[in-house]
């Protein structure tokens, strides 16, 4: 996409991590910028110097929100760039269309300013692991690659730091895809689709359609990489025209990647080629086999030979908060899977263990249905400790399904203490909440770190 004309006026809505990065880059490039932040300026004391510098450079701030955005936005902006956490109301979308104001999130703005070939990674689960893995494989092979997006580093921060022949591995969430219109990745990867963020998107059909936007602007010479074992992924691809490539655990796929006889395979020059044996992987779980297959296929499309892909795949370690083994207390393994913020993730975590599990379940209420999870709880969890906002609803649903090995606690600390008292030698205490963390924590990382500190403190007391 061409760069925005120099006189383009931007309204950046939200001054969090993404908004600050976007405001800074736009201002440095000479664009007129207005920042709208619903929170008061007193909430941003840590960024007082940055705010003063931006004001001195001509950025206009409106802390505490704006009373009438429908009137205000067309007066100050040619482009409205909402932060990912902000859902633009339908009436404002209509006003922007009537006033010829583009709505473009940071991801779309960045693609006009960052040189390189974009690999976009999206899906309900596994995005961060797979994004990191793709980047790891490319850089291990000596290929110039950068990592950004929903993984933590705003994509816009790469502006001016990359070259046209570099690979840009970008994790993209459904929140970010809501506000793209012309975003066109060279390789777009959709890992899976399961119920999540329905409090924002309304229903699974809408969520699937939004995920499909990652393919919408691709051309025939672009590439779509899709989980062939997930029908919703094919539904999201829809009528897109990019070249489709599939990965599957079920068996061979022409031109794709698959699992066969304990190995992960890829089609190279039209022939099946073994990349790595599953026993040689350092990350566990069938869900991670999907992630690795996806990464293998993406890197193959990017031009890497199977041998080079193998070098990166076999050295990749699991990321924090994703089925992370913390340690043993009295021969009980404690595992941190705080990143499991939906039902699908917790199912994947439970399937990793043959040992009986004491499951720590619950958190922020976002209306997820336990129906699909309950059979897996019955099969793998000897006991469930419920916590957080969802604890009472989850208790009712579990009991209605006939599962009664339940303990209810309010906080994570209380739940950990209860789990320790319940767990027996040879079992696993698994924090895999199937819920977001916002009822008690800033994010899933803080929740996982809290769990880790609790376990490590207990280990210190046990050790002689």
3-state secondary structure of 395: helix
Same domain as 200, residue 60: no
**274 within some domain:** yes
Residue 202: the pLDDT is: 67
**pLDDT digit string (tens) for 390-446?**
999 999 999 999 999 999 999 999 999 999 999 999 999 999 999 999 999 999 999
Give the residue from 371, 373, 372, 398 showing the smallest Cα distance to 385.
Answer: 398
The dihedral through the CA atoms of 384, 389, 390, 396 has a sign that is positive
CA distances from 392 to 77, 385, 408, 437 (A): 46, 11, 8, 16
**49 within some domain:** yes
Same domain as 116, residue 80: no
Same domain as 113, residue 76: no
**1 within some domain:** no
Same domain as 368, residue 235: no
- CA separation for the pair 211, 182 (Å, rounded): 14
Same domain as 147, residue 222: yes
Same domain as 289, residue 164: yes
**pLDDT at residue 171 above 90?**
yes
H or E segment to which residue 225 belongs:
strand 223-227
**319 within some domain:** no
Q: Which residues contact 88 (CB under 8 A, 6 or more apart)?
A: 80, 82, 103, 178, 179
- Widest CA span in the chain: 71
Residue 194: the pLDDT is: 87
Residue 141: the pLDDT is: 98
**pLDDT digit string (tens) for 259-281?**
999 999 999 989 999 999 999 99
CATH number for the domain that contains residue 72: 3.40.50.720
Residue 461: the pLDDT is: 72
**457 within some domain:** yes
Q: What percent of the chain has pLDDT over 70?
A: 98
- CA separation for the pair 339, 433 (Å, rounded): 8
Beta bridge partners of 328: 333
End residue of a domain, out of 250, 282, 313: 313
Mean pLDDT, the chain, as a whole number? Answer: 95
Residue 374: the pLDDT is: 98
Phi-psi region of 434 (alpha: psi -120 to 50; beta: other; left: phi over 0): left
Same domain as 112, residue 98: no
Q: How many domains does the chain have?
A: 3
**pLDDT at residue 66 above 80?**
yes
Length of the chain: 464
Range(s) of the domain holding residue 365: 324-462
3-state secondary structure of 418: helix
Same domain as 297, residue 173: yes
What is the average per-residue pLDDT within 288-300?
Answer: 98
**pLDDT at residue 97 above 90?**
yes
327-332 long-range contacts, CB within 8 A, separation 24+: 327/455, 327/456, 327/459, 328/459, 329/420, 329/455, 329/458, 329/459, 329/462, 330/425, 330/462, 331/425, 331/426, 332/420, 332/423, 332/424, 332/425, 332/426, 332/427, 332/428, 332/429
What is the average per-residue pLDDT within 152-158?
Answer: 94
152: confidence class by pLDDT, cuts 50, 70, 90: confident
**pLDDT digit string (tens) for 330-388?**
999 999 999 999 999 999 999 999 999 999 999 999 888 899 999 999 999 999 999 99
Residue 37: CB atoms within 10 Å: 22
**75 within some domain:** yes
Same domain as 99, residue 175: no
End residue of a domain, out of 87, 103, 119: 103
- CA separation for the pair 123, 114 (Å, rounded): 23
Residue 199: the pLDDT is: 66
Residue 198: the pLDDT is: 59
End residue of a domain, out of 72, 103, 134: 103
463: confidence class by pLDDT, cuts 50, 70, 90: low
**2 within some domain:** no
**pLDDT digit string (tens) for 41-56?**
999 999 999 999 999 9
Same domain as 174, residue 112: yes
Same domain as 455, residue 431: yes
Residue that wins the pLDDT comparison between 198 and 123: 123
Same domain as 96, residue 147: no
- CA separation for the pair 428, 274 (Å, rounded): 34
What is the average per-residue pLDDT within 59-83?
Answer: 97
CATH number for the domain that contains residue 148: 3.40.1190.10
Residue 73: the pLDDT is: 98
**pLDDT at residue 464 above 90?**
no
**52 within some domain:** yes
């Amino acid at each position: 996409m061409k760069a925005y004309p120099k006189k383009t006026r931007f309204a950046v809505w939200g001054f969090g991590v993404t908004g600050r990065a976007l405001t800074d880059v736009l201002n440095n490039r000479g664009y007129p910028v207005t920042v709208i932040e619903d929170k008061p300026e007193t909430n941003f004391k840590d960024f007082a110097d940055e705010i003063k510098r931006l004001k001195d450079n001509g950025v206009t701030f409106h802390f505490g929100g704006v009373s009438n955005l429908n009137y205000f936005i067309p007066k100050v902006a040619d482009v409205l760039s909402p932060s990912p956490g902000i859902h633009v109301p339908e009436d404002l979308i209509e006003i922007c269309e009537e006033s010829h104001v583009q709505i473009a999130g940071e991801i779309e703005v960045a693609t006009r300013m960052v040189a390189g070939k974009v690999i976009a990674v999206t899906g309900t689960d596994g995005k961060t692991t797979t994004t990191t893995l793709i980047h790891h494989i490319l850089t291990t092979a000596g290929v110039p690659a950068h990592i950004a997006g929903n993984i933590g580093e705003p994509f816009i921060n790469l502006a001016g730091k990359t070259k046209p022949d570099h690979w840009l591995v970008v994790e993209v969430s459904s929140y970010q895809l809501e506000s793209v219109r012309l975003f066109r990745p060279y390789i777009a990867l959709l890992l899976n689709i399961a119920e999540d963020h329905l409090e924002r998107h309304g229903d699974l059909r809408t969520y699937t359609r939004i995920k499909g936007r990652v393919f919408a602007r691709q051309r025939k010479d672009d590439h779509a990489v899709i989980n062939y074992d997930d029908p919703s992924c094919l539904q999201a691809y829809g009528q897109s025209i990019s070249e489709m490539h599939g990965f599957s655990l079920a068996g061979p796929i022409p031109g794709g990647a698959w699992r066969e006889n304990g190995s992960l395979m890829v089609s190279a020059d039209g022939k099946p080629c073994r990349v790595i044996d599953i026993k040689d992987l350092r990350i566990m779980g069938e869900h991670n086999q999907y992630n690795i297959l996806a990464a293998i296929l993406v890197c193959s499309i990017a031009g890497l030979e199977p041998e080079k892909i193998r070098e990166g795949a076999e050295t990749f370690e699991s990321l924090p908060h994703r089925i992370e083994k913390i340690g043993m207390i009295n021969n009980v393994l404690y595992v941190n899977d705080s990143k499991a913020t939906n039902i699908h993730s917790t199912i994947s975590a439970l399937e990793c263990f043959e040992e009986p599990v004491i499951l720590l379940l619950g958190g922020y209420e976002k209306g997820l249905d336990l129906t699909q999870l309950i059979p897996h709880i019955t099969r793998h969890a000897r006991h469930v400790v419920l916590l957080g906002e969802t604890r009472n609803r989850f208790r009712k649903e579990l009991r209605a399904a006939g599962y009664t090995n339940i303990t209810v606690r309010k906080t994570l600390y209380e739940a950990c203490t209860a789990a320790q008292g319940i767990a027996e030698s040879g079992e696993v205490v698994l924090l895999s909440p199937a819920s977001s963390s916002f009822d008690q924590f800033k994010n899933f990382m803080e929740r996982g770190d809290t769990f880790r500190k609790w376990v490590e403190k207990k280990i210190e007391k046990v050790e002689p």
